[in-house]
């Protein structure tokens, strides 16, 4: 699989910032996972996040064995995607990721994916400078996670706990069913979706995430 260098250069010029680098890294890792069953970087961003401690916005809320995946595609309304990116940026939690099944238009077409990510991450999608302000929301490309959780429609939000392997799409290629997880389909605000999932899961982590989304600073006193 190869990409026309001229096309890649034009895409990079059209989409400023570090997004083009992120897309190329994801493309390389996707090829590694699909053809070799491994990740060249030793883990999938968002999965290889077992370190406890502080995040960009304070203490990590999700435990080491907990993950939240927001499964999307380019068919999801742009406003919904933008809201997810905004909320993940506000939460600053490394164990939460937006997940795409693959590249928009296939792995050989980089520009559609760059433009798609621009619309999701850039606070002003019309920005054309080299320093466009963007949401810091982890977006990974991982068809194996779609397969592992049996995702049939998007958007879908999965809360998983008991994750014991933090790399290579949770080792789906080695077989086995996913651990304890809860899933919600539909276009819902993230705080509302997590609240609904929490009714079944009974997770203190989800309680705290909802409080942080709704209150911002000061949520900690009710999250102990």
Q: Give per-residue pLDDT as tens, 154-193.
A: 999 999 998 876 654 554 444 456 679 999 999 999 999 9
Containing structural domain, residue 194: 5-50+62-222
Q: Does residue 57 lie within any of the structural domains? A: no
Q: What is the pLDDT of residue 71?
A: 98
* Residue closest to 224 by CA, chosen among 216, 213, 215, 211: 211
Q: Does residue 218 lie within any of the structural domains? A: yes
Q: What is the pLDDT of residue 61?
A: 95
The answer to whether the CB of 30 falls within 8 A of the CB of 40 is no
Q: What is the pLDDT of residue 46?
A: 40
Q: What is the pLDDT of residue 202?
A: 96
Q: Does residue 105 lie within any of the structural domains? A: yes
Q: What is the pLDDT of residue 90?
A: 95
Q: Does residue 160 lie within any of the structural domains? A: yes
Q: Rounded CA gap, 29 and 41, in Å? A: 8
Is the pLDDT confidence value at 24 over 50? yes
Q: Does residue 55 lie within any of the structural domains? A: no
The model's pLDDT over 108-139, given as tens digits with 9 standing for 90+, comes to: 777 888 889 889 999 998 888 778 899 999 99
Instruction: Give the total number of structural domains in the chain.
Output: 1
Q: What is the pLDDT of residue 166?
A: 60
Q: Does residue 16 lie within any of the structural domains? A: yes
For residue 160, the domain's CATH number is 3.40.30
């Amino acid at each position: 699989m190869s990409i026309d260098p001229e096309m890649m250069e034009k895409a990079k010029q059209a989409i400023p910032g570090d997004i083009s680098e992120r897309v190329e890294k994801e493309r390389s890792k996707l090829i590694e996972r699909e053809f070799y069953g491994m990740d060249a970087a030793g883990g999938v961003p968002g999965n290889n996040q077992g370190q406890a401690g502080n995040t960009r916005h304070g203490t990590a809320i999700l435990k080491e064995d907990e993950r939240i995946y927001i499964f999307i595609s380019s068919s999801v309304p742009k406003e919904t995607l933008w809201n997810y990116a905004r909320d993940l940026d506000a939460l600053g939690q490394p164990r939460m990721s937006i997940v795409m099944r693959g590249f928009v238009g296939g792995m050989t077409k980089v520009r559609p994916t760059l433009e798609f990510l621009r619309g999701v991450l850039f606070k002003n999608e019309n920005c054309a400078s080299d320093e466009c302000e963007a949401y810091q929301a982890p977006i990974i490309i991982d068809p194996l996670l779609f397969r592992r959780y049996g995702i049939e429609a998007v958007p879908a939000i999965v809360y998983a706990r008991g994750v014991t392997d933090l790399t290579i799409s949770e080792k789906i290629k080695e077989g086995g069913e996913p651990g304890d997880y809860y899933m919600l389909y539909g276009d819902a605000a993230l705080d509302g979706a997590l609240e609904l999932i929490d009714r079944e899961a009974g997770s203190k982590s989800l309680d705290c995430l909802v409080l942080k989304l709704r209150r911002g600073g000061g949520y900690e006193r009710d999250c102990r």
